Chain A
Amino acid sequence: MDLSRRPLCCAAAWLYVGWMLAAGVGCDRFPRDPEGTLDRIQGGVMRVGVAEHPPWVVRDNRDDSPRGVEPESIRDLAKELDSHIEWVWTGESEALDALVRYELDLVLGGLTADSPWKSHVALTRPYHTASIIVAVHPSSTAVTTVEATRIAVRRASRSETLVKDHGGEPVPLATLLAADAQEGLPIATEAWEARALGYVATGIKLGETSYVMAAPPGENAWLLHLERFLRRNRPQPGDTDRGDPP
């Protein structure tokens, strides 16, 4: 389609692009939301789906209110936007499905960047990247290699696979708190959790996991606002957060 030979068509195309760019820079909001999510949230209601996933999303047993890294951070965002949060406790896939239908504005649940949902919903850029490391109890001897070493991991966690991939011998436990009782085994888990458990990092890093939140597909103004907020605030698990319930 050699349109370049038609100067009129070419000029029209450039005018169009120029006009759109000028309009884009000039207008108050660019990009815009096809469904107007950000406008609706500002001074209105933010519908947030929450799926339990400690420490990112933790359900408070007393009043069912969401706690944890993600809800605490989003409360700050709502304050900024002067909006009221409507929390909806659901499962992860149900929440994401509702997101696709624009029935929720945000889903929290310790989602990871490699989620298979990434082409259906708008995942934010990772707000926290956790290293999966090998750590030892201060009273135990240091570990220098994963190979052929027995390492305690939480059952069915990503660390279990990683230890296996690195040639180690994973010892799956229901809770890492029990690792110490098991003849002082080293543990493999995310760095913040090892710290929270009082373990000492060995310098061995097995991999990393990037945590994200999910917004409705194509709501780019809302997505951009959310991502800017997360970049500014960098929510991350503190030393007081524990993966295992006390």
Chain B
Amino acid sequence: MMPRAPYELPEDKQRKIRKAIRLEWITIFFLVTIGVVMYLAMGQSQAMKAAWIEDVLSLIPPIVFLISIRYRSRPPDERFPFGLRRAPLLAFLASSAAVTVLGLYILGDSVIKLASAHHPSIGMMEIFGWRMWAGWVMIAALVYSMVPPLILGRMKLPLSRELHEKTLHADAAMNKADWMTGGAAIIGIVGIGFGWWWADGVAAGLIALDVIYDGATHVRDAIFTLLDQRPTQVESHKPDEAVEARLLKALRSLDWVEDAAVRVREEGQLYSGEAFVVSRDGPPAPRQLADASRRLCETDWRAHAFVVQPVDTTPSREEPFSPDSCRVHRCGLPSGCRRSKLRERKDHEDRLDEEALHRPVERYLQRRDADGRGAAQDDR
């Protein structure tokens, strides 16, 4: 087994990664303090509980990021010839699925509390000898929970774009939107203060919907990327056509290349895949192909380990493949026939063989020739 060449981030990106790691540690620190403060202030309010769970859940992305980033940069080896570049995505998929399930749990809990007309009780709290309604303390805790994530989220968003880190982006987006769950919980508690016991359950339900939305979006994005979808931009989720165009341009600018096509996938933050080139004069030398591969990697800091394959023509779409077509190819029949067509022909040949037992040899050969020509015409 031949492992792929290890990848090293460019110097400026490494600095940014270190900054992202630092920001994630700061995020964890603040989320833990927020979690503790909210837990201490938390009374019977369902919305506050939902906001607290949301806060604890938003610890997952930074932790996943910090853990998986350690594994990701391990060089490819005999066991993992393609490296572990996708480790963060995989971890992120698992944690997003867990977040979605918890969101569903909070939603169900809130709906049950609403349906059973549960009146949340919030009494007195005493802090440094000052007695007040505990709702005010809860609101203060929620306001605290809104500010640091908002700032950290805004700081992490541009980094995630520059580093092409989708897990970091999801984390930053969640932080940035965190103020809304805090706001919803505050509205719920103020609602309780006004004697609207249902305000709390409604706010909790809204928070749950937000958690489910976040979780489901991240599950979807992680699945799409793990299924090797066409590389997309971090923020807009639109195909990254600029990089594709640059890759094609790099190939076409080679003087021996007449035409080229690329097939690209994302491996974590890297872009990798295959390139197909049509040579102007005769088959290209291995040296030329290696040169083409190197040029592809120079087009973008994310491009890595492209395999360049010489082809006769560059079809935009290849014929469907089945192991059958491989066999037929070996037998000298044109490749790319559909399976049904192949079976038809095979049946026909079998029938011919049977007929051959009863008919003169000449007739058999005649028919077989005619059939062969017909098939050849079909294929053309």
Contacts and interface: CB of A to CB of B under 8 A. Distances in A.
A220 B135 CA distance: 10
A4 B176 contact: yes
B195 A1 contact: no
A215 interface: yes
Interface in A182-211: none
B131 interface: yes
Contact of B190 (A20, A34, A224): A20
Contact of B124 (A32, A119, A121, A228): A228
B123 A224 contact: yes
A20 B194 contact: yes
Given A1-B209, A34-B197, A215 B121 contact: yes
B105 interface: no
Nearest to B186: A17
A112 interface: no
Contact of A32 (B120, B126, B131, B194): B194
A10 to B, nearest CB: 9
Interface string B199-215: 00000000001100100
A31 B194 CA distance: 6
B123 A220 contact: yes
Contacts of A215: 121
A24 to B, nearest CB: 6
A146 B93 CA distance: 54
Contacts of B213: 1
B25 interface: no
Interface string A4-30: 100000000100110011011000001
A154 interface: no
B177 A31 contact: no
B119 A2 contact: no
B235 to A, nearest CB: 11
Contacts of B209: 1
B123 A227 contact: yes
A172 interface: no
Contacts of B126: 125, 231
Contact of B183 (A17, A21, A223): A17
A23 B190 CA distance: 10
A219 B121 contact: yes
Interface string B166-195: 000000010011011001001100111111
Given A224-B123, A224-B133, A228-B131, A217 B194 contact: no
B193 A125 contact: no
Contacts of B180: 1, 3-4, 13
B126 to A, nearest CB: 7
A2 B173 CA distance: 8
Given A119-B44, A220-B122, A17 B190 contact: yes
B196 interface: yes
B177 A32 contact: no
Interface string B208-236: 01100100000000000000000000000
Contact of B193 (A1, A4, A220, A223): A220
B13 interface: no
Contacts of B196: 34
Contacts of A217: 118-121
A122 interface: yes
A215 B121 CA distance: 9
B163 to A, nearest CB: 21
A17 B190 CA distance: 8
Contact of B123 (A13, A34, A223): A223
A4 B121 contact: no
B210 A1 contact: yes
Nearest to B196: A34
Which of A13, A124, A215, A231 has the most chain B CB atoms inside 10 A of its CB?
A13
A122 B210 CA distance: 30
Contact of A220 (B133, B173, B186): B133
A99 to B, nearest CB: 11
A185 to B, nearest CB: 40
A210 B176 CA distance: 42
Given A20-B187, A119-B44, A224-B133, A1 B119 contact: no
A219 B120 CA distance: 8
Given A223-B123, A231-B126, A13 B133 contact: no
A235 to B, nearest CB: 16
A122 B187 contact: no
Contacts of A32: 193-195
Contacts of A122: 44, 121, 123
A119 B120 CA distance: 9
Contacts of B131: 228, 231
A52 interface: no
A24 B119 contact: no
Interface in B280-332: none
Given A30-B133, A31-B193, A227 B124 contact: yes
14 contacts: A1-B180, A4-B177, A23-B194, A24-B194, A30-B133, A30-B194, A32-B195, A125-B123, A216-B119, A217-B121, A218-B121, A219-B119, A223-B124, A224-B123
Given A1-B213, A31-B194, A217-B119, 8 more contacts: A1-B210, A2-B176, A17-B187, A17-B190, A30-B133, A34-B119, A124-B123, A218-B197
Interface of A: 1-4, 13, 16-17, 20-21, 23-24, 30-34, 119, 121-122, 124-125, 215-220, 223-224, 227-228, 231
Interface of B: 44, 118-124, 126, 131, 133, 135, 173, 176-177, 179-180, 183, 186-187, 190-197, 209-210, 213
Which A-B residue pairs are the 4 nearest by beta carbons?
A218-B119, A122-B121, A32-B195, A227-B124
